Amino acid sequence: MTTKYLLVLSIFAILVPLLSKAVTPTTRSDSDEPTRFFKVYPIGEIHKRGSVTTIEIDKKYQDALLGLDGFSHVWVFWWFDRNDTLDQRRILRVHPRGNSRNPLTGVFATRSPVRPNLIALTPCKILAIKDNVIRIENIDALPDTPVLDLKPYIPAIDFIPNVNTPDWINN
């Protein structure tokens, strides 16, 4: 064998395992356990006291609120923490809004609280921000629900004209 041939074989021996890992899609094993994991840390939590709803951000993230008071609305990413079981995560089809008259639909086409990852998203009107507490108009989360992230609502980016929805949305 020539030196050039051995060099090419050596390069292939190194690159093939690396490339196969880079292009192999992430799939679930037979046991339904994810093959890749991501850690998500709450940044705060929802509080509801009477008619007052707030998001209390951990003090260590308070500086991240700078400038949010210039926006009227915020997207709140939160976790369906009281719904987190392996059985609930396996449910892939539901009747939207829990109504059996609605067609059986994949959870990615619904706002169902059962899904493979229990991330929720709610647009909220900001009423006030003081220190690490954001007072909001309302949110469809339970008290003490963990908040994962906040993003400002930006009409030029977040508005989508001419959308289509299935018939069950309007019924």
pLDDT digits (tens), the chain, 171 positions:
444 433 333 433 443 343 333 333 333 444 666 678 888 899 999 999 999 999 999 999 999 999 999 999 999 999 999 888 888 889 999 999 889 999 999 999 998 888 899 999 999 999 999 999 999 999 999 999 999 999 999 999 998 888 899 988 887
Distance CA 126, CA 149 (A): 15
Distance CA 108, CA 19 (A): 31
CA 108, 110, 114, 118 torsion: positive or negative? Answer: positive
Each domain of the chain, given as residue ranges in start order, spans: 42-80+118-154
Distance CA 32, CA 122 (A): 28
pTM for the whole structure: 0.76
Instruction: For the domain made up of 42-80+118-154, give the CATH fold.
Output: Elongation Factor Tu (Ef-tu); domain 3 (2.40.30)
Q: Which residue do the tokens 């493979």 mark?
A: 116
